[in-house]
A and B are shown apart, each in its own frame.
Chain A
Amino acid sequence: MRLSAAILLGKIIAKIIHLLKIGGGSAAPGLFALKLDPDLVIKLSAKIPQNIIITGTNGKTTTARMIALFAKANGLKVIRNHTGSNLERGIASTLIHHTSLGLNVINTGGWLDRNLGVWELDEAAFNSVTPKIKPNIVVFLNVFRDQLDRYGEVDSVVKKWCNTLKSLTPQTVVLLNGDDANTAKLAHCFEGKVVTFGVKDYKLVGESLEKKPSNKKLDFEAKNVILNGLKGSTFQLSFNHKSHTIHLPLPGIYHIYDALAAITCATHFSDIPINRLSDYLINFQPAFGRVEKLPFGFIFLIKNPAGATQVFETIAPQIKPNDRLLLALNDNLADGTDVSWIWDANFEVLLQNLSRAKSRDLSLYVSGTRTYDLANRLKYAGFDSHNIMVESDLKKALRQARDGLKGKLFILPTYTAMLELQGILAHSGLKKHYWEES
């Protein structure tokens, strides 16, 4: 009874949000429904035969999307929190949306016709929500310094994850990034099956990936990695003494980890052969703003030191003389209110690895609520301050950056700046609203 009322309330709120066109409705319905029935997530997720939880600092959305792609191609009906709303309320909203209220709702609490739940949870929500969902598979991607104002220090994040793992049933399967020492050591916190994935001879040192020969043992290992600029990469996936060629249409070594996690996961919830997974991956499209191709350039989300540095390392060699850069730094709650992190991100790489060696004359457009903090970071990274154009209004900054653009525009926004950008692009007819995307 309580559950049905909560679902109904959530649905009404979602409807109102939809009618008033005030957003995608990915948080508010769940937020209010949870007040009515705090056990809503426990009850509704139990109606789904298999659930997967993905956590980590970077790559959650991309990994979840790949898993969903594999599952759908295999005929499974997937439910997931796909607008990056990775707190309990986001999950509740998604569950409510997919639950039908029939005539005998009072007894059943609705009908949920889905085979597989794919849930991304942020570092903190993981600990409170995982025991409620009782997942079949848990994926740990990595852990970096991120929004210290919200999550706290890396050590304490890992410690809490460890405690949560101890509370799960040993039937759960835990997938770990074996190249990140912090996630690798979680193996000791869990009694059941643990599977590791990673890239041969790569290791996370501090916050960057370093290549060093090593004898580490990984269950799913990428070998012979070839990076093809912005087009993506090719590698050999080896597991169970077999090797498969994988073409990944996403740039940068960091995306290989997302693909490895998704493939490893798929082999545990289905029996799709790896070569079929590889075929599906060729058509993979990342979520809005992560790595997004636009008619006039690219969007790469930046949100923490490690992720931003990886983006810089990936794009710097691809920037051509007529290209421009637009960076936007916001300090809203979802971005983290502390912008100190930009000083830990290696903006210097952006300059040092430019294809045009030492060209300090690259045109930089800087925007966001903390425009000047970012402008200073670029100045101290070695860019010529005369080439740093400052405009805190993102719409204007985008117009200036596109005005007279002969090459490509690389846009690097933080999370809420990225959402704002999506709105601007949709409004100007350059693309759909993000909540309308699959």
Chain B
Amino acid sequence: MKLVIGYLYGDLMNIYGDTGNIIALKKRAQWRGIEVVVKNISLGDKLYTSDVSSKPDIYFFGGGQDQQQELVSRDLVLSIKGKVIKQEVEKGVPLLSVCGGYQLLGEYYKPHKGPKLPGIGLFPTYTVASFDRMIGNIVIESQFGKLVGFENHSGKTHLKKGALPFGMVLKGFGNNGADKTEGCMYKNAIGCYMHGSLLPKNPKLADWLLRKALETKYGKEIELESLDDSLELQAHQKALARFS
């Protein structure tokens, strides 16, 4: 089996150690004998060409600095990339987005000054800049069990009616520090504020993304070979014990 990981704007949107998510997906696939290609998709690039083997089976979209985020927002909306990502998610292709990436996949981001940055509206959410810095370790309860990470954002994200939160905050701020929700989920796409990096310490979630990617690609149910996750689970447990 083979997996192509599409790293959306990996050269611009990669602060806060989000690359750790790519490393985790790649290693956990390789340890199971699955061939992995990581493809950086940047400004002006196409998501995939007529060569079907280069088509990403899973997407990752991290956070960036303000200036980069503006460039990326424009590229996502003006090129057809945003539209194609939405089509892919409709087909079941999994996606993980964190912080800035998550914000740009919502309907819009309203900065302190200047006009709204339009998003692609994959998630029924919108984000408004605030003067509160929501920073610290975060623990949430989700369909994947408890998850641990580190959040650092000042944008407050609000879920519109009918939007499904990724999880509920047990410790920390989450989407907006008020309604206890964290992140958003649509089909197999996830948006959240959890750095840390998220996937290495939450291997269950990493494996769910891999499984969904393979199932969508090969059109059948897939059971992933189990791995020795003792170090990962201890990191997870320690973080839970310390922070929740």
Proximity string of chain A (350-374) to chain B, C-beta cutoff 8 Å, 1 when within and 0 when not = 0000000000000000000001110
Known interface pairs A372-B231, A375-B235; A155-B67 also in contact (CB < 8 Å): yes
Residue in A339, A340, A376 whose beta carbon sits within 8 Å of that of B231 in the complex: A376
Given A372-B234, A385-B228; A377-B16 close (CB under 8 Å):
no
B23 touches A339 (CB 8 A): no
Cα–Cα, bound, A367→B4 (Å): 35
How many chain A residues have a CB neighbour from B under 8 Å? 26
Bound-state CA distance A10–B226 (Å) is 60
* Binary A-proximity of B171-200 (CB < 8 A = 1, otherwise 0): 000000000000000000000000111001
User: Residue on B with the closest CB to A369?
Assistant: B242
A379 contacts B231, CB within 8 Å?
A: yes
Partner of A155, one of B14, B17, B66: B66
Residue B15 at the chain A interface, CB threshold 8 Å? yes
Q: Is A210 an interface residue (CB 8 A)?
A: no
Q: Known: A153-B65, A380-B24. Is A344-B19 also a contact (CB below 8 A)?
A: yes
Report yes or no: B200 in contact with A372, Cβ–Cβ below 8 A.
Answer: no
Q: Which of A374-410 contact B (CB under 8 A)?
A: 375-377, 379-380, 385, 388, 390
Residues in B with CB closer than 8 Å to A388 are 231
Given contacts A338-B150, A372-B235, A375-B235, contact A343 B65 (CB under 8 A): no
Query: Which residue on B lies nearest to A379, using beta carbons?
Result: B231
CA distance A390 to B231 in the complex (A): 9
Residues of B within 8 A of A340 (CB): 16-18, 20, 150, 195-197
B196-211 near A? 1/0 per residue, CB < 8 Å: 1100110000000000
- Which size bracket describes the interface of B in this complex? 20 to 34
A residues in contact with B65, CB < 8 Å: 153-156
Question: How distant is B36 from chain A, measured CB to nearest CB, in Å?
Answer: 13
Q: How far is the CA of A156 from the CA of B64 in the complex (A)?
A: 12
Contact A149 B152 (CB under 8 A): yes
Which residues of B15-52 have CB atoms within 8 Å of chain A's CB atoms?
15-20, 23-24, 27
Q: Report if B136 contacts A (CB, 8 A).
A: yes
Q: For A148, list chain B residues within 8 Å (CB).
A: 15-16, 152
Closest approach, in angstroms, between the C-beta of A150 and any C-beta of chain B?
10
B238 interface hit (Cβ, 8 Å):
yes
A339 contacts across to B, CB distance below 8 A: 150, 196
CB-defined contacts of B195 to chain A, threshold 8 Å: 338, 340
A343 touches B135 (CB 8 A): no
B136, A337: Cβ atoms closer than 8 Å: yes
A341: Cβ under 8 A from any B Cβ:
yes
Q: How many angstroms between the C-alpha atoms of A145 and B65 in the bound complex?
A: 11
User: Is A419 on the interface with B (CB-CB < 8 A)?
Assistant: no
Judge whether A187 is part of the interface by a CB distance below 8 angstroms. no
Distance of B27 from chain A, by nearest CB (Å): 5
Q: How far is the CB of A368 from chain B (nearest CB, A)?
A: 11
**Does B23 lie within 8 Å of A385, measured CB to CB?**
no
Nearest-CB residue, chain B, relative to A392: B238
A-B contact pairs, 22 of them (CB 8 A): A148-B15, A148-B152, A155-B66, A155-B67, A338-B152, A340-B17, A340-B20, A341-B17, A342-B20, A343-B17, A343-B18, A343-B197, A373-B201, A375-B231, A375-B234, A375-B235, A376-B231, A376-B235, A377-B20, A379-B231, A380-B20, A385-B231
List the 9 shortest-distance A-B pairs measured between CB atoms, nearest first: A343-B20, A340-B17, A372-B235, A343-B17, A153-B65, A343-B197, A340-B195, A338-B150, A372-B234
Which A residues are closer than 8 A to B by beta carbons?
A: 145, 148-149, 153-156, 337-344, 371-373, 375-377, 379-380, 385, 388, 390
